[in-house]
């Protein structure tokens, strides 16, 4: 009997110690700031997910994830082409103010890429102040090949795997199949014969990062910048997805790649789940601009969801994007919002989630209250512009748009005319009401003039008016 009492007394401290250790671990897990995962598709139209009305292309996992969170119906990209849209996303600055207004800028008689300015604070640079570690995998598109300080690793990311293209500082053409790890620390070439698609290759890096390369005691920001469904995809490994449909090969491949993409997001999600991180992770999904038409017909699958326009247009089809947010036990499942917001609202939202001060540069408003079903401040208006320099310095390539309430103004520089649409009755922008509402046109023109600031390398920035 005495032996039993002594044995129990011997075990009790260990039981208390084990319970205390578990309590400390639970407290540490609860006290760690929220992990942030930002998933960005490339050229995905408003209507290319089942959760946004797609009937033919199958995206079961993304649709399921959307129904477990909050789905936005009136969410907009930064603009309608990759580089300036991503600049707006990374800085919280709209495209009338940010330093990148088109995929290329004018340098004398030549066109070349323009990097973000060093004074423009990026999301990972902001989050570093809150103790976050940050990783970026995929398409950066905000730097120049000759200057590593403009690459993702040089702009706040602790770990970066990115493609790059153009001429390097030695005058050699960069092979864009190569993915550069932490600038030039390592380089790995994508081999399409080994992977179903480029985004499987990229997702492998993300999983490796989550499992082996991050400090698991710190919160993380993971920016997954995918390639699908952008036109340029080298090659895809032979597959039979949708072969029974009898579609043209270009359309079949387009649909197949989106379904492949869905599978890669599921892999990433399951990794987070296996690591027990979902309880403390917010996931945002969206796309950088409307659907491309380089190698498929965006009307074939109603890629814009029936909206007018596509990539490079400032009509709704070029800038309105799928957007949903998943946050387990924080966001009410299967909910929808028509709160109008845009890429430049993401930075202040993440700042509020991370409890860090948002940079003064931002034009955005946090939509965290909307996520949590609280009173949400709204913009007086939203603004976009784009400079397409394939037309040279001609104002033909300069486009502007603004939305105020349900009024939408669209202006192409060389037309010297502002079109006006009422989105409450004409979401497809078929009926130009500018002649009937000159007072509204005047108000919208004032916004277009006010919000576009002149900047080097973009000759029509500042607006084109009579």
Omega of the bond prior to 188 within 30 degrees of 0, cis?
A: no
Model pTM?
0.92
- The pLDDT assigned to 236 comes to 75
Tell me if 26 is assigned to some domain.
no
Q: Both 216 and 72 in a single domain?
A: yes
The last residue of one of the domains, among 357, 379, 401, is: 379
Q: Both 355 and 415 in a single domain?
A: no
Tell me if 371 is assigned to some domain.
yes
- The pLDDT assigned to 414 comes to 87
Tell me if 460 is assigned to some domain.
no
Classified as helix, coil or strand, 261 is: helix
- The pLDDT assigned to 231 comes to 80
Q: Both 387 and 364 in a single domain?
A: no
Half-sphere exposure of 427 (CA within 13 A, CB side): 11
Angle between helix 249-274 and helix 60-67 axes, rounded to 10 deg = 50
Q: What is the CA radius of gyration of the chain?
A: 24
Classified as helix, coil or strand, 213 is: helix
Angle between helix 249-274 and helix 198-208 axes, rounded to 10 deg = 10
Q: Both 259 and 308 in a single domain?
A: yes
The last residue of one of the domains, among 379, 405, 427, is: 379
Q: Both 447 and 301 in a single domain?
A: no
Tell me if 165 is assigned to some domain.
yes
Q: Both 364 and 407 in a single domain?
A: no
C-beta atoms surrounding 11 within 10 Å: 10
- Terminal Cα-to-Cα distance of the chain (whole angstroms): 101
| Placement of tokens 């700031």 in the chain | 33
The last residue of one of the domains, among 379, 405, 421, is: 379
- The pLDDT assigned to 4 comes to 44
Cα–Cα dist 296/250, whole Å: 6
- The pLDDT assigned to 172 comes to 78
Q: Both 417 and 289 in a single domain?
A: no
Q: Both 274 and 390 in a single domain?
A: no
Tell me if 235 is assigned to some domain.
yes
- The pLDDT assigned to 389 comes to 86
Q: Both 319 and 442 in a single domain?
A: no
- The pLDDT assigned to 27 comes to 44
Cα–Cα dist 360/358, whole Å: 6
How many independent structural domains does the chain possess?
Answer: 2
Mean pLDDT, the chain cut into blocks of 10 residues (466 residues total): 46 46 46 93 98 98 98 98 98 98 93 96 98 97 94 98 84 84 90 90 97 96 96 75 94 94 98 97 98 93 97 98 97 97 98 98 98 98 94 88 98 94 98 98 97 96 88
Tell me if 466 is assigned to some domain.
no
Q: Both 231 and 83 in a single domain?
A: yes
Half-sphere exposure of 177 (CA within 13 A, CB side): 10
Q: How far is CA 301 from CA 47, 58, 155, 321, in A?
A: 8, 12, 37, 16
Phi, psi for 271 (deg, rounded to 5)? -65, -45
Evaluated on CA atoms 153, 157, 161, 166, the torsion sign reads negative
Q: Both 326 and 414 in a single domain?
A: no
- CATH number, domain of 390, equals 3.30.1120.10
- CATH number, domain of 259, equals 3.40.720.10
- The pLDDT assigned to 184 comes to 84
Cα–Cα dist 238/154, whole Å: 37
Tell me if 200 is assigned to some domain.
yes
Q: Tell me the H-state helices in 120-194.
A: 123-128
- Residue 443 sits in which domain range? 383-451
DSSP 8-state class, residue 140? -
Q: Both 367 and 388 in a single domain?
A: no
Tell me if 24 is assigned to some domain.
no
- The pLDDT assigned to 289 comes to 98
Name, in order, each residue with C-beta under 8 angstroms of 163's C-beta and a sequence gap of 6 or more. Answer: 138, 139, 140, 176, 177, 178, 179, 180
């Amino acid at each position: 009997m005495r032996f039993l009492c002594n044995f129990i007394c011997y075990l009790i401290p260990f039981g208390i110690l084990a319970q205390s250790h578990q309590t400390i671990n639970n407290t540490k897990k609860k006290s760690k700031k929220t992990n942030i995962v930002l998933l960005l598709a490339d050229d995905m139209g408003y209507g290319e997910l089942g959760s946004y009305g797609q009937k033919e292309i199958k995206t079961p996992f993304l649709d399921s994830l959307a129904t477990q969170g909050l789905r936005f119906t009136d969410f907009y990209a930064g603009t309608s082409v990759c580089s300036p849209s991503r600049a707006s996303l990374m800085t919280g600055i709209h495209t009338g103010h940010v330093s990148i207004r088109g995929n290329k800028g004018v340098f004398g008689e030549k066109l070349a890429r323009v990097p973000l300015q060093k004074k423009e604070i990026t999301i990972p640079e902001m989050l570093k102040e809150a103790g976050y570690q940050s990783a970026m995998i995929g398409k950066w598109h905000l730097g120049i090949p000759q200057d590593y300080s403009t690459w993702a690793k040089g702009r706040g990311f602790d770990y970066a795997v990115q493609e790059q293209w153009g001429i390097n500082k030695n005058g050699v053409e960069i092979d864009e199949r190569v993915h550069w790890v932490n600038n030039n620390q390592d380089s790995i070439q994508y081999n399409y014969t080994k992977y179903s698609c480029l985004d499987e290759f990229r997702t492998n890096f993300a999983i490796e990062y989550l499992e082996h390369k991050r400090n698991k005691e710190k919160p993380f920001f993971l920016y997954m910048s995918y390639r699908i469904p952008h036109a340029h995809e080298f090659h895809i490994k032979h597959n039979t997805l949708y072969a029974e449909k009898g579609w043209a090969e270009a359309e079949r491949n387009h649909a197949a790649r989106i379904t492949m993409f869905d599978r890669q997001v599921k892999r990433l999600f399951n990794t987070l789940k296996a690591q027990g991180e979902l309880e403390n992770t917010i996931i945002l999904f969206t796309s950088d601009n409307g659907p491309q038409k380089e190698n498929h017909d965006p009307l074939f699958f109603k890629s814009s969801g029936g909206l007018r326009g596509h990539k490079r247009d400032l009509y709704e089809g070029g800038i309105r994007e799928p957007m949903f947010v998943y946050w387990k036990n924080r966001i009410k499942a299967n909910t929808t919002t028509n709160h109008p917001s845009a890429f430049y609202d993401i930075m202040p939202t993440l700042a509020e989630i991370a409890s860090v001060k948002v940079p003064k540069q931002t034009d955005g408003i946090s939509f965290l209250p909307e996520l949590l079903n609280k009173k949400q401040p709204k913009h007086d208006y939203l603004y976009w512009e784009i400079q397409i320099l394939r037309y040279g310095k001609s104002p033909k390539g300069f486009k502007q748009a603004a939305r105020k309430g349900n009024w939408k103004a669209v202006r192409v520089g060389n037309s010297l005319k502002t079109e006006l649409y009422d989105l409450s009755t004409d979401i497809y922008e078929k009926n130009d009401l500018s002649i009937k509402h000159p007072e509204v046109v005047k108000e919208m023109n004032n916004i277009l003039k006010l919000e576009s600031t002149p900047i080097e390398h973009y000759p029509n920035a500042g607006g084109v008016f009579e």
